[in-house]
Amino acid sequence: MVVREEIVDDYAIGGATALAYYSDNIFTEDIDVFVYLRSQSPVLIDLGPIYEYLVRTQNARVQGQYLVVEEFPVQFLVPYDDLSREAFARAVPVMYGDAKTKIFELEYLMAIMIQLGKQKYRERIRKLIEERAYDEQKLEQLLKTHRLHEKWLVLKKSVEGE
């Protein structure tokens, strides 16, 4: 809808909503939608056209940092660094329920959680290690490329010891 109307050039779902595609029992308060706006300056990003379109066509409403669309809080983000831009570029098409969409690959979601280092990601990482649902070689290479390998080793050791 937003892509067809040329409001955004491309999008992909990241964060815990994408993670829930790969792993059960993931809770999130919002949906992280990464958008690519070719026409935007890299310094100043205007998400106003997205909000205006969704308010007008989907009866969405602004609530704090979110746009609530069909009762789901949505946070629109622009890929902000090399890792998130690469994750966005490699997003994979999936069927999510009855909707066709694109999501970040699991290893990129893990790398972003490792990079951000938030406490809430510890349990998610622990669970993913336990489930062994990810490609370990792919993750290792990705983490080395983005200089996160040492951080991963420390985190992995700490959550495996729990």
138 Cβ contact partners less than 8 Å away, ≥ 6 residues apart: 107
| CA atoms of 16 and 74, how far apart (whole Å) | 12
- pLDDT higher than 80, residue 154: yes
pLDDT at 132: 84
Question: How far is 30 from 75, CA to CA, in rounded Å?
Answer: 7
Per-residue model confidence (pLDDT) at position 40? 59
pLDDT digits (tens, 9 = 90+) for 18-77: 998 898 767 788 899 999 876 656 666 788 888 888 999 889 999 988 999 988 999 999
Average model confidence (pLDDT) across the chain: 88
User: pLDDT tens-digit profile of 37-46?
Assistant: 766 566 667 8
